[in-house]
Amino acid sequence: MNSRKWVRLFLTTLLIGGIATAAVGIVLNWKEFGHLLVRFEVIEFLAVLLWHVGVGFIFSVISQAGFFAYLTVHRFGLGMFRSLWNAVQLVLIMFVLFDLVYFRYMVFADKGDSIIPYVLTALFILAVGLAVAYIKSAQTNKGAFVPALFFMVVVTVIEWFPVLRINDRDWLYLMLIPLLVCNAYQLLILHKLTGGAGSSA
Are 58 and 162 within 8 A, CB to CB? no
pTM above 0.85, yes or no: yes
Residue numbers in the chain where pLDDT is lower than 70: 1, 196-201
Q: DSSP E strands: which ranges in 23-128?
A: none
Are 5 and 37 within 8 A, CB to CB? no
| pLDDT value, residue 197 | 53
| pLDDT value, residue 106 | 92
| pLDDT value, residue 123 | 97
| pLDDT value, residue 57 | 97
| pLDDT value, residue 199 | 54
Distance, in Å, from the CA atom of 105 to the CA atom of 119, rounded to the nearest integer, reads 9
Distance, in Å, from the CA atom of 139 to the CA atom of 187, rounded to the nearest integer, reads 11
| pLDDT value, residue 122 | 97
**Strand, helix or coil at 171?**
helix
| pLDDT value, residue 48 | 84
| pLDDT value, residue 194 | 81
**How many C-beta neighbours within 10 Å does residue 21 have?**
27
| pLDDT value, residue 69 | 95
| pLDDT value, residue 55 | 96
| pLDDT value, residue 95 | 97
Distance, in Å, from the CA atom of 92 to the CA atom of 90, rounded to the nearest integer, reads 5
